[in-house]
Structure 1
Amino acid sequence: MTRSQIFRAMMLALFACAAIAPASAQQVPLQDKPFAEHKIVLQLSDSDVKKQALVLSVANNLLKFYDPDKVAIEVVAFGPGIDLLHTGSDRRKQVESLIAQGVRFDICLNTVDTIERETGKRPDFIPAATPVQVGVGQILFLAENGYTVVRP
């Protein structure tokens, strides 16, 4: 291979990577709250009911403290934290109430896929939960876009 062929191959690879990167970033959309002055992402990676209650309490308190139009709250559940979003969860009504008030609940599809592989059954989750491929990736994406990460 000549130097010019190597250079062309490297440039093509670079352009291909540049084209792929924005597409993957677009897979995890931001909330539609253009006037939000405060952006918070709450991490939930624990199945402990006390921690789940704390996450819900923090989201609820933020809605009371700030004008709901001025705050964007996103709860990202992954690993054991997705238990909160099961259709049979004891806290389903609380989650759905927060969703109705504009709080977004993301569920990690990698975790869901792992559960399905291990049990042979895909778990049922609250339909209003927003599926994201990688929960931690969603937290990173939000942090890079001005969200403050809180892990109650």
Structure 2
Amino acid sequence: MKYLGHMMVALFAVALMAMPSIAGAADHKLVLQISDNDPQKMNTVLNVAANVSRLYSEKGEEVDIKVVAFNAGLHMLRPDTSPVSERISNFSASMPNVAFQACNNTREAMAKKSGKDVPIFEFAEVVPAGVVSIIELNEQGYTIVRP
């Protein structure tokens, strides 16, 4: 009987490890890179995020989307220079499964060049380095797309 109990525990542990998603974990993970100060590309990133989010929602599946902005793409997350500021503000409020990351390396370089602080939208997370964030998200199973 003791052997059967140990076998049941082992089978339960294997079943838990085989589950595709753990409470709160997304079924799908996507990184969208923006590194150009181009309104069309910024809108494309937002369109892709909205379309992917909607498609998986309609299928009853969870998706976690990270938009990582670095280099000239950081303008997307700057309230003072963003060509998509109104859309992105509404977007972040209506899509909780989409998170925005701003590269601090780029932010510091822009601040040094301009001689003034570089503001970032309050809903965006400032990460030490955008490319490093993308590498680490890839290692966590995120698919990387640069629209």
TM range (shorter): 0.7 to 0.9
Query: What is the 5 A alignment of 1:15-26?
Result: none
Deviations 1:82-130 (A, max 9, x none): 1111113242232223322121000000000001111111112211110
What's the TM-score once normalised by structure 2's chain length?
Answer: 0.76
Q: For 2:108 and 2:124, locate their aligned partners in 1 and report how far apart those are by CA, in whole Å.
A: 16
Q: For 1:60 and 1:149, locate their aligned partners in 2 and report how far apart those are by CA, in whole Å.
A: 16
Q: For 2:65 and 2:135, locate their aligned partners in 1 and report how far apart those are by CA, in whole Å.
A: 15
Q: For 1:42 and 1:79, locate their aligned partners in 2 and report how far apart those are by CA, in whole Å.
A: 14
CA RMSD between the two structures: 1.6
What residue number does 2:30 align with?
40
Q: For 1:52 and 1:124, locate their aligned partners in 2 and report how far apart those are by CA, in whole Å.
A: 18
Q: For 1:91 and 1:51, locate their aligned partners in 2 and report how far apart those are by CA, in whole Å.
A: 10
Query: What is the 5 A alignment of 1:67-146?
Result: 67=57, 70-88=62-80, 89-100=82-93, 101-102=95-96, 103-146=98-141
CA contact (8 A) 1:35 1:69 kept: no
Q: Gaps (5+ residues) in structure 2?
A: 1-22
CA contact (8 A) 1:40 1:73 kept: yes
| One of 135, 138, 143 as aligned partner of 1:148 | 143
CA contact (8 A) 1:43 1:151 kept: yes
Q: Between Structure 1 and Structure 2, how many residues are aligned?
A: 120
Q: Gaps (5+ residues) in structure 1?
A: 1-32
CA contact (8 A) 2:39 2:83 kept: no
43-52 vs 91-100, greater mean Cα deviation: 91-100
Q: For 2:61 and 2:87, locate their aligned partners in 1 and report how far apart those are by CA, in whole Å.
A: 20
Matched residue of 1:39: which SS?
Answer: strand
What residue number does 1:18 align with?
none
What's the TM-score once normalised by structure 1's chain length?
Answer: 0.74
Q: For 1:124 and 1:93, locate their aligned partners in 2 and report how far apart those are by CA, in whole Å.
A: 16
CA contact (8 A) 2:53 2:63 kept: yes
Structure 2 letter corresponding to 1:133: P
The 1:128/1:66 distance shift into structure 2, 3 A limit, reads same
